[in-house]
Structure 1
């Protein structure tokens, strides 16, 4: 896939960016206001830059390059434009952007660079500058992930709104022969003291003839009218009245349906099959063998299983025919994989191998050798499935050398390339209709199901084919969050002060070949000022298909770090909050979040009888989150009653969304902390549906209180940072209540 290779090249060459810095460091950042080609507009529309179109009926359309999968991205991005334009928010519309490079998700890619978040040095600034220019050169990288949508477009969309506003004001000033400074703008209307006024729609066509200003002034925070205020989601009405269209709702004319049976062994395929009985059934159009698919990004994650699919007139006909096919399976390299044995193997690997160093501060081995006291611990986390509410699905029509694909995807550029490569056509001959997503969590960055649908479309004689995985197929053929083992060691001096910190994890690398390994995110770039420290990761690849999961490496590393920090506090004889504060001296933002969470939770005041508090603090995707869990134990069953969550995410563009995403992340993280586990025996995933891979039930959900720290910093992410701290907060509360350290997820007392 050409663009996948380009992305791999981009990230793989950033380590050599020093040579480029010489030539590029002095150049300004590439503009993101106007694309390589003019923005397409309807006859009643005027495109004012690459992001904003205004219609003669006063509708303002914002081009949105990111997927809406329940996180409120479309609304938040539209708010940035509307506020700077002084538009009527009720007249704002969103439209999926094209593949122009101005829409690339630069923040997600730049955040992967191996620098500490608090590093503001010359090398980091220049490397990010050069990397940003590289990313700006290649279209089709507008993926939705890394909690980066708002963060990435915080300035570009505000600049687009301010530029569009300036053009509309200039058009009015020219028509009325007055100074632009005499005009005021409010709710999509421009007015003059003389009484003359006009709507955006009335001025749009004239404004489009004017030069685009690249330096229109932005509002000061005190001037914001929408940013920072609660707003309802743009797509909410369509979800309420049923008109919203997810991938599963695509209904092009002539639609036929496909069902697939995939090899139960991970990475296996059909060796042969007898479909004679299926072919005689009514409605059956074709039966197609599907090869295993490497649907990852730049080679990441391995391949999912091959299988056999039936194309038929209805889903019922396809499913019934599939049941009549006798398939002989060829079980691949994963046939001997056992998840319990794999975790033991990871632990044994740490006995003899030191891994790759991702952070080194001082001489940690000397500090440990000289320590008056040392403690050690080993933590384990299992494979996890994404289990999105909408299972994997894709609809593809291939006719006359061109394809249209209706896809709930987080990466439309990658999906388009996957369709093109599968069908042997140029990407320019593939149209991707990006629908709403019924959950993503990283799973819909992968293209295995897209390749399957495109393969089936080639056999459908021009009819569009809709492939919908069953829940069982979705659960048993995922790109799983990898299983990891982590060894931790800490040393203390005679006074009980921490003098050394050492962690080494083992498991799959979190990244593709030739790309930056992000396996220690949340461990190597945490905020604690350890006097001497080493953080390392030992890559151990397996035949299990693995991938990115909500909060990526932070999901396991927050559990490792915050659990062991709690152990260190206990070993030092200190209060867990005070101990953390001592390691954060001078870090005002983290300290404020930590102390606010403790205050709101009533830390230091005894909890209700039979309950205890546990705390965790974690920085991820530019935001800082502290959570305090109030926990009880009844008959070896852990019950979480209350969670206090404090978040500093910079400017909270829409506080409603921030609170919703913190609540969502906590529920998602609690599901994994208390229940989540994918177990594999003989290469087969045992779990098949929500009865044995259970999400948090309503009667288990705690009361969640979210407090947003007021901040003038640029926005951080909110879609993922709420997930990592909850597991260690609960585990630490269980220790405070019972004296037992639970070092393996999911948390179990028996």
Structure 2
């Protein structure tokens, strides 16, 4: 169950139920409980009425942490999923930091479960032990003789609901190292029947998304932005909007990046924005078109790489390829892509009674807008509050290093007298035409084979637009000039390829670039897996057998990647498709997880392809919520296939051509016949599932198309480069 509006905010909830036990972790990592001054924000809160609330530090955009993290606490406390609710944590990077990101609170990189698995289990276990100890004291019994199950403490001839012991438990110290349940005792973790906690509220419309926020007396702000990135506003004429119902004002933002248009309603703001006239300074604006950007990237692939990614002797590798019995080579190109979440960007900002600022947002990286807002208004960090609500998708878009839309909201609010809340709204067109994009990339690969079909050399050049360079993250994400997000999935691939060299060249950014679902793996997996298929074909070896030959040894990477490859092939009846159908396979490691996918199609590229079935195998360590894992694999597969089938963002003179879903079409439910997901049993620590389903999807489809039509698609999207779909 989710927490209804009257219970939001754990401090208010605590006051409502009287005595309360809160358990969490101090900034130094030590467990702490009620009454500890340095621990004010918990992971679990228990009221004397028996209500239990998980305080979820990772925001929910559909990927499932509100259920996953709550499951961990419920498991350790012996609760059913009906006996626990959740609320989102406040912005507090000292306590709720993502330990995989450093001193920052944020959700991304499929890290929620990997980061929090032990934290939330320990918090739940500590709460259980404290309640048992309190009951033992009340009953004069040994705590080891008592159990907590389904919200009831029993043993030593006694039985009572856990709420009876909250007040006494709140006076105890949290155990430093509470015993965790053995996996053999799990009732919820790994249970495929556990369903999402947020589904009912989303289904009946009571779930609160950022777009649903309605503060008293709020006004709407929309931003008039330049068509070309890096242009700035010089002047604005509002006379054309003065007769529009609800129009309030329009002013240039303090950073001149746009013009804030204020109105009583969203429709009024849209109409007024269309009616004002803005003079733009385009002297520093982007003016290139897509064909020029592609030409620059392709030219960079023909030159010597700027950076040697894996330190190999490029000359020796090139010589090995040149001297090979057979050479397989291809050049790939990947266009800009938009994130296109269903809920466009929006947030609401208001001033609090004490002069602070409160932001209501589906906030993915709270620490960044938190600091930016404090700086904009010149107030201490602690006077800024962020109330996180649900977001209708993100795929990375809500987590920009510049906190772009939150900064827009703050700057717009700063232009007012702050007496009225401001709800900033982006339209779909705004996000497609003025947002952040998966950068354009190119790869050139040459593989040499010996007479037996074995790889003797792999020369791989990559060129594209860095995500991290020029951002606040550059200082700790760039090593030896290499942005790892540009090359991840290549030099660090589990494939044991002899004599391999990987080089990178950065090209000038045409737009604002940003991580996109699975980040660099979205293009590197495609290249690696299509090349493995092309090379297997040249060697005359089955594609599965060829891959397995480079996944030998006892290394965990090789063993686990081979495991999902074998499982997917087995479940898809690899090599024996129904009559009239063709198969393609791909396997990739990303975000600590291993995913293999077999795409089965009918038809040909010339006559029209129909995706009949996708069979997926995933190894993500301990499967906390199998139902969510399957859903995330299905979503990731659809995201990867849909965008690569037909989507691209193109520029004409620096202006984005696409406007909305008619010309940037998302996957349709009719595009894929069926998806079947198989989870490989594992005792390893849990890893990511939000993104790893995406990278293998498109190359598996490409390899199926090649099997049917003898054509490897090297330039995307597919439907713009020789492939038709039915």
TM-score, shorter chain, exceeding 0.5? yes
Alpha-carbon spacing, 1:646–1:713, altered in 2? closer, same or farther (3 Å): same
User: In 2, Cα distance between the equivalents of 1:236 and 1:39?
Assistant: 36
1:35–1:307: structure 2 CA closer, same or farther, 3 Å change rule?
A: farther
Matched, 1:655 2:626: yes
2:595 counterpart of 1:632: no
Partner of 1:203: 165
CA distance change for structure 1 residues 279 and 428 in 2, over 3 Å: closer, same or farther? farther
Aligned-partner Cα distance in 1 for 2:286–2:505: 24
Say whether 1:233 aligns with 2:225.
no
In the TM superposition, 1:5-24 aligns within 5 A as none
| Residue of structure 2 in register with 1:96 after alignment | 88
Who is 1:562 aligned against?
A: 529
Alignment-derived partner of residue 31 in structure 1: 29
Give the C-alpha shift of residue 310 in structure 1.
1.5
Kept after mapping to 2: 8 A contact 1:629/1:729: yes
Query: What's the counterpart of residue 124 of structure 1?
Result: none
CA distance in 2, matches of 1:467, 1:431: 17
Q: Is residue 584 of structure 2 the alignment partner of residue 614 of structure 1?
A: yes
Is contact 1:355–1:504 with CA below 8 Å preserved after alignment? no
- Give the counterpart of 1:458 among 403, 406, 414: 414
Residue pairs, 1:139-178, within 5 angstroms: 141-178=104-141
Using the TM superposition, name which of 224-233 and 716-725 deviates more.
224-233
Partner of 2:392: 438
2:372 counterpart of 1:418: yes
Counterpart in the other structure of 1:379: 332
Mean Cα deviation higher: 415-424 or 467-476: 415-424
Q: 3-state DSSP class of the match of 1:421?
A: helix
Structure 1 residue 458 displacement after superposition: 1.8
Listed as ranges, the matches of 1:592-603 within 5 Å are 592-603=563-574
Answering whether residue 343 of structure 2 is matched by residue 390 of structure 1, we say yes
2:430 is the counterpart of 1:473: yes
Change (3 A) 1:32 1:376: farther
3-state DSSP class of the match of 1:414? Answer: helix
How far apart are 1:606 and its partner, in Å? 4.1
Aligned to 1:106: 99
Large movers: runs of 4+ above 4 Å: 35-41, 360-363
| Cα distance change of structure 1 residues 38 and 685 upon mapping to structure 2, 3 Å threshold | farther
Structure 2 residue aligned with 1:448: 404
Quote the residue 2:180 is aligned against. 218
Q: Which residue is equivalent to 1:269?
A: 232
2:476 to 510, 515, 525: 515
Matched, 1:319 2:299: no
Secondary structure, counterpart of 1:238 in structure 2: helix
Post-superposition CA distance 1:500-523 (Å, at most 9, x none): 112111011232432322211111
Contact 2:35-2:170 within 8 A present in 1 as well = no
Taking a change above 3 Å as real, the CA distance of residues 142 and 36 of structure 1, as seen in their structure-2 partners, is farther
Distance 1:626 1:375 in 2: 24
Structure 1: runs of 5 or more not aligned = 1-28, 42-46, 110-134, 294-305
Per the alignment, residue 131 of structure 1 pairs with none
Pick from 153, 158, 174 the counterpart of residue 190 of structure 1.
Answer: 153
Contact 2:222 2:424 in 1 (8 A): yes
Measured after TM superposition, the shift of residue 456 of structure 1 is 1.6
Match of 2:42 in 1: 50
Q: CA deviation at 1:706?
A: 0.5
SS of 2:632 mapped into structure 1: helix
1:694-705 to 2 correspondence within 5 Å?
694-705=665-676
Deviations 1:153-183 (A, max 9, x none): 1111111111111111111111111111111
Tell me the equivalent position of 2:480. Answer: none
Cα 1:636/1:270, change in 2 over 3 Å: farther
| CA distance in 1 between partners of 2:371 and 2:156 (Å) | 54
- Bigger mean CA deviation after superposition, 411-420 or 649-658: 411-420
Provide the residue aligned with 1:736 in structure 2.
707
Report the 3-state secondary structure (helix = DSSP H, G, I; strand = E; otherwise coil) of the residue aligned with 2:171: coil
Q: Is the contact between residue 80 and residue 161 of structure 1 (CA under 8 Å) also seen in structure 2? A: yes
Aligned counterpart for 2:318 among listed residues 365, 381, 399: 365
- 2:89 and 2:388 in contact (8 A); partners too: no
- Aligned residue number for residue 23 of structure 2: none
Deviation, 1:280, is 4.8
The answer to whether the Cα contact below 8 Å between 1:39 and 1:50 also exists between their aligned partners in 2 is: no
Taking a change above 3 Å as real, the CA distance of residues 440 and 405 of structure 1, as seen in their structure-2 partners, is: same
Q: CA deviation at 1:737?
A: 0.7
Give distance in 2, aligned partners of 1:234 and 1:421. 37
Q: State which of 496, 501, 513 in structure 2 corresponds to 1:534.
A: 501
What secondary structure sits across from 2:144 in the alignment? helix
Counterpart for residue 3 of structure 2 = none
Indicate if the aligned counterparts of 2:466 and 2:509 stay in contact, CA closer than 8 A: no
In the TM superposition, residue 360 of structure 1 has moved relative to its aligned partner by 4.2
Q: How many matched pairs?
A: 672
Q: Is the 8 A contact 2:335 2:440 kept in 1?
A: yes
Match of 1:244 in 2: 207
Does 1:485 pair with 2:466?
no
1:67 pairs with one of 59, 66, 71: 59
Among candidates 471, 477, 492, match of residue 525 of structure 1: 492
| Aligned alpha-carbon RMSD (Å) | 2.1
Give me the whole-angstrom Cα distance separating, in 1, the residues matched to 2:34 and 2:429: 44
Distance of 1:629 and 1:361 partners within structure 2: 34
Q: Deviations over 1:362-383 (max 9, x none)?
A: 7523432442322221111110
By how many angstroms is 1:30 displaced? 4.7
Whether contact under 8 Å (1:617, 1:625) holds in the other structure is yes
Q: Under a length normalisation based on structure 2, what TM-score does the superposition of the two structures give?
A: 0.89
- Within 2, Cα distance between the matches of 1:208 and 1:726? 50
2:223 and 2:718 map into 1 onto residues whose CA distance is: 35
| 1:287-345 per-position Cα deviation (integer Å, ceiling 9, x unaligned) | 1113668xxxxxxxxxxxx3222212222322222222122222253432112211111
Deviates more, 1:274-283 or 1:442-451: 274-283
Whole-Å separation in 2 of the counterparts to 1:146 and 1:229: 25
Whole-Å separation in 1 of the counterparts to 2:311 and 2:451: 24
Q: Is contact 2:254-2:411 (8 Å) kept? A: no
Q: Does 1:342 align with 2:298?
A: no
Alpha-carbon shift at residue 698 of structure 1 (Å): 2.1
- Structure-1 separation of matches of 2:367 and 2:487: 28
Contact 1:273 1:328 survives alignment (8 Å): yes
The answer as to 2:430 corresponding to 1:504 is: no
Q: Give, in whole Å, the separation in 2 of the partners of 1:693 and 1:582.
A: 40
